[in-house]
Amino acid sequence: MSQIGRNRLAVLIDADNAQAAICETLLAEISKLGVSTIKRAYGDWTTPNLAPWKEHLLRHAIHPVQQFSYTQGKNATDSALIIDAMDLLYSGNVEGFCLISSDSDFTRLAARLRESGMLVYGFGEDKTPQPFVSACDTFIYSEGLRKVAEKPVPAMPVSKPAVEPVALVKPTKTQRQLRSHILNAVNELQQVDGWAPLSAVGGYLKKKMPDLKPSDHGASKLGAMIQKLDYLDVCRRPVKGGSMHFYIRKKSSQPAKAS
């Protein structure tokens, strides 16, 4: 055992067979199991398909092991990983291994490591053959890690404009109607975290109130009008491409449904 009382782990990644998108959550999961004292990723780094891994190698101090494909159809990466695993086994510097791959070729390796008293944690996709899954002490499916990695970015609060809530020039009945439709739209369109995309709410309002004009409510655009309503919270979130989209939700003090 290591001096801090946690198992030292060798993390061996078959980069040809694993998704770079799960790297952050993968390493976070491994940190719950022990200390990753050795981190290596195997593949032919001259090929473009491994480009997504490169930023993770630097950020997490993962050592890339170059393995050229000498013969078409033969996976030299697997052989290199297996040889290194056996060298590490006999070095006596680790108590366990994390094998990141969905390839059944590592079944015998996992079994051999366990025969030598090593802890073996496998990480792979749902398609991973059962023999490899069974050969590990614990097997964690990467689909679950991918869902964690793809969680929505936390909302960034947007300060409300330093103005009083807008006073509608239309009758009170119109004010109640607008409030009811907006809150109903949020109820129907909200995501799991309670926030609804403003663009979707705008489409909903266009169907329910085709004559709605933000200018009638003291605003030039829908977004500006929404930000002035005192019964809504507003935030912005980044989307692909770097642009920001607005999201809205009922204030926490609002009832579940519009009155």
Domains and CATH numbers, the chain: 8-149 (3.40.50.1010), 156-250 (3.30.420.610)
Task: Please tell me the predicted confidence (pLDDT) of residue 150.
Answer: 57
Task: Please tell me the predicted confidence (pLDDT) of residue 91.
Answer: 93
Report residue 67 as tokens. 């393995």
30, 143, 41: which is closest to 96 by C-alpha?
A: 30
Report residue 198 as tokens. 């403003």
Q: How confident is the model at residue 1 (pLDDT cuts 50, 70, 90)?
A: very low
Task: Please tell me the predicted confidence (pLDDT) of residue 106.
Answer: 94
Task: Indicate the average pLDDT of the chain.
Answer: 81
77, 83, 96: which is closest to 136 by C-alpha?
A: 96
| Residue 252 pLDDT > 80 | no
| Residue 259 pLDDT > 90 | no
For the chain, give the number of residues: 259
| Residue 8 pLDDT > 90 | yes
Q: Name the more confident of 72 and 241.
A: 241
* Cβ-contact 234, 246 below 8 angstroms: yes
Q: How confident is the model at residue 254 (pLDDT cuts 50, 70, 90)?
A: very low
How far, in Å, CA of 164 to CA of 218, rounded?
11
| Residue 155 pLDDT > 60 | no
139, 134, 91, 140: which is closest to 116 by C-alpha?
A: 91
Q: With pLDDT > 90 as the criterion, what percentage of the chain qualifies?
A: 32
Task: Please tell me the predicted confidence (pLDDT) of residue 68.
Answer: 77
Q: Name the more confident of 196 and 89.
A: 89
> What three-state secondary structure class fits 258?
coil
pTM over 0.85: no
> What is the mean pLDDT of the segment spanning 87-97?
95
| Residue 61 pLDDT > 90 | yes
Residue 243 main-chain phi, psi, to 5 deg: -75, 165
| Residue 258 pLDDT > 50 | no
* DSSP labels, 153-209: PPPEE-PPPSSPPP--SS-HHHHHHHHHHHHHHHHHH--TTS-EEHHHHHHHHHHH-
241, 132, 254, 131: which is closest to 194 by C-alpha?
A: 254
Q: How confident is the model at residue 44 (pLDDT cuts 50, 70, 90)?
A: confident
- Least trusted range by pLDDT, from 20-24, 132-136, 191-195: 191-195
> What is the mean pLDDT of the segment spanning 34-39?
95
| Residue 114 pLDDT > 80 | yes
- Least trusted range by pLDDT, from 10-19, 101-110, 140-149, 206-215: 140-149
> What is the mean pLDDT of the segment spanning 129-149?
83
Q: Name the more confident of 203 and 12.
A: 12
